[in-house]
């Protein structure tokens, strides 16, 4: 460029707009301007479309992130609720087991007392039966012995009177 400026200044005598280089530069600027305007619009539109796509993707990502956060919070609440419910179920089961254990112990104790009572009643009945049997045998032995004694030592009338008296007294003495 300096060379050109020096030539023009040296006085080649022509004006700068008469030089072909000048017109090539002007044509270059016009062509570039003519091409740049539609291309710049297209580039701008493409960049705007790309920016809009990116903005849409970012908005979608933000929306999905918020949904994920809400879903996470919901699952955490459900997890806490399920954990609390499980703990409550375990506590209820523990209480129920304790209650059933106490009830079983009480039932066992009642059953043992009932069996003990039944055994005592059986023993008492067996004792009463044995006593009755011993009394019966004792009465029979005493009667036999008394009859033999009376038969050997007493006269007939006197023996019959005593036997009758003893028989009449016997229910009173046994009762």
Burial class of residue 129 in the structure, from the number of CB atoms within 10 Å of its CB (0-12 exposed, 13-18 middle, 19+ buried): exposed
Q: Is the whole model's pTM more than 0.95, yes or no?
A: no
Does residue 11 carry a pLDDT above 60? no
Q: What is the pLDDT of residue 8?
A: 52
- pLDDT grade for 154, boundaries at 50, 70 and 90: low
Does residue 106 carry a pLDDT above 70? yes
Does residue 10 carry a pLDDT above 70? no
DSSP string, 109-140: HHHHHHHHHHHHHHHHHHHHHHHHHHHHHHHH
Instruction: Identify whether the C-beta of residue 151 lies closer than 8 Å to the C-beta of residue 159.
Output: yes
- Give the Cα separation of 134 and 48 in Å (integer): 125
Q: What is the pLDDT of residue 121?
A: 92
Q: What is the pLDDT of residue 75?
A: 94
Q: What is the pLDDT of residue 50?
A: 92
- pLDDT grade for 1, boundaries at 50, 70 and 90: low
Q: What is the pLDDT of residue 160?
A: 75
Percent above pLDDT 90 for the chain: 51
Q: What is the pLDDT of residue 40?
A: 81
Mean pLDDT of the chain, nearest integer: 85
Higher pLDDT, 143 or 55: 55
- Cα 47 to chain center, whole Å? 57
Q: What is the pLDDT of residue 155?
A: 66
148 C-beta neighbours (distance < 10 Å), count? 10
Token readout for 83 is 């954990």
- Mean pLDDT of all residues in 11-17: 72
For the chain, counts of helices (H) and of strands (E): 3, 0
Does residue 97 carry a pLDDT above 70? yes
Q: What is the pLDDT of residue 165?
A: 81
- Give the Cα separation of 43 and 37 in Å (integer): 10
């Amino acid at each position: 460029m300096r060379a050109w400026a020096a030539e023009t200044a040296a006085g080649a005598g022509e004006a700068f707009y008469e030089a072909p280089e000048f017109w090539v530069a002007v044509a270059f600027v016009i062509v570039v301007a003519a091409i740049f305007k539609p291309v710049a619009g297209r580039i701008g539109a493409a960049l705007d479309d790309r920016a809009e796509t990116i903005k849409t993707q970012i908005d979608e990502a933000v929306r999905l992130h918020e949904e994920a956060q809400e879903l996470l919070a919901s699952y955490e609440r459900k997890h806490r609720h399920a954990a609390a419910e499980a703990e409550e179920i375990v506590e209820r089961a523990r209480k129920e087991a304790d209650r059933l254990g106490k009830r079983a112990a009480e039932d066992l104790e009642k059953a043992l007392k009932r069996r003990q009572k039944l055994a005592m009643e059986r023993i008492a009945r067996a004792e009463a039966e044995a006593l009755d049997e011993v009394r019966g045998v004792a009465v029979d032995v005493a009667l036999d012995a008394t009859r033999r004694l009376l038969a050997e030592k007493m006269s007939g009338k006197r023996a019959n009177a005593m036997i009758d008296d003893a028989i009449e007294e016997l229910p009173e003495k046994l009762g």
